[in-house]
A and B are shown apart, each in its own frame.
Chain A
Amino acid sequence: GQQLNQSPQSMFIQEGEDVSMNCTSSSIFNTWLWYKQDPGEGPVLLIALYKAGELTSNGRLTAQFGITRKDSFLNISASIPSDVGIYFCAGLPPLTGTASKLTFGTGTRLQVTL
């Protein structure tokens, strides 16, 4: 099935550094979501974006919904060891058929060194 393209695929950073990752699609989405998944667990929702151009923050996390509606990015400021995990973007298409079907990205694996 279709998966959104995320980059980078993985990254190693030092504690305290800022992190940036993005997600692109060939088709338009009406909603962008960012999830974090820890090993052996299900994804946990971090941020939801509902309209083009929207910039939303959740603590040290900031995400933006691209103007073209085909991309989104996530920034993490001042990273800490517990930020380690896999970050997934997910999109909801315009309201056609079953609107609740999420399309996930390929994931960005984040590792933080002390």
Chain B
Amino acid sequence: GAGVSQSPRYKVAKRGQDVALRCDPISGHVSLFWYQQALGQGPEFLTYFQNEAQLDKSGLPSDRFFAERPEGSVSTLKIQRTQQEDSAVYLCASSLDGQRNYGYTFGSGTRLTVV
């Protein structure tokens, strides 16, 4: 597609429930990023893929967070046993070449609310 597509746009989860957030990057984009944006804050880095390789996962807040990109295109961010502090907008971005390439295109995000 023309842009980065994320689904669902909104997700309400009960505390303790597992969730999976999907990102469809721009076709042909090598690099894919996940960011977490809490209300009133700037996005914070979670993890980075180059093709199917997860090169940096230093921003994942706990071992309840897991991301994958098995075929180097679509990516899924999974959060197990959700907690209220996980409530945020989860943004996905892709770029043609992640090595110092700044042409990130962000998706519209998934707003996760944990109740």
- Measured CB to CB, the closest approach of chain A to B3, in angstroms, equals 9
Q: Is the CB of B108 within 8 A of A101?
A: no
Q: Determine the distance from Cα of A88 to Cα of B91 in the docked complex, in whole angstroms.
A: 15
| Residue from the list B42, B91, B100, B102 in contact with A3, Cβ < 8 A | B42
Q: Which residues of A contact B101 (CB under 8 A)?
A: 100
Q: Which residues of B contact A44 (CB under 8 A)?
A: 106
Question: Is A107 at the interface (CB under 8 A from chain B)?
Answer: yes
Q: Is the CB of B42 within 8 A of A100?
A: no
- Total A residues in contact with B, Cβ cutoff 8 Å: 27
* Residues 68 to 115 of chain B near chain A (Cβ within 8 Å): 91, 93, 95, 98-104, 106-109
Q: Which residues of B contact A33 (CB under 8 A)?
A: 102
Q: Is the CB of B41 within 8 A of A100?
A: no
Q: Is the CB of A3 within 8 A of B104?
A: no
- Measured CB to CB, the closest approach of chain A to B7, in angstroms, equals 14
| Residue from the list B33, B42, B56, B103 in contact with A97, Cβ < 8 A | B56
Question: Is A73 at the interface (CB under 8 A from chain B)?
Answer: no
Q: Is the CB of B42 within 8 A of A45?
A: no
Q: Which residues of A contact B109 (CB under 8 A)?
A: 40-42
Interface residues on B, range: 20 to 34
Q: Determine the distance from Cα of A100 to Cα of B56 in the docked complex, in whole angstroms.
A: 10
Q: Which residues of B contact A97 (CB under 8 A)?
A: 56
Would you call the interface of chain B mostly helix, strand, loop, or mixed?
loop
Would you call the interface of chain A mostly helix, strand, loop, or mixed?
loop
- Measured CB to CB, the closest approach of chain A to B30, in angstroms, equals 11
Q: Determine the distance from Cα of A1 to Cα of B38 in the docked complex, in whole angstroms.
A: 12
Q: Is the CB of A40 within 8 A of B108?
A: yes
- Measured CB to CB, the closest approach of chain A to B85, in angstroms, equals 14
CB nearest neighbor in B for A102: B45
Question: Assuming A3-B44, A42-B91, A104-B43, is B59 touching A92 (CB within 8 A)?
Answer: no
Of A4, A31, A104, chain B has the most CB atoms within 10 Å of the CB of: A104
Per CB-CB distance, the 4 closest pairs between chain A and chain B, nearest first, are A42-B106, A104-B42, A98-B56, A100-B98
Binding site for B on A (CB under 8 A): 1, 3-4, 31, 33, 40-45, 48, 88, 90, 92, 95, 97-107
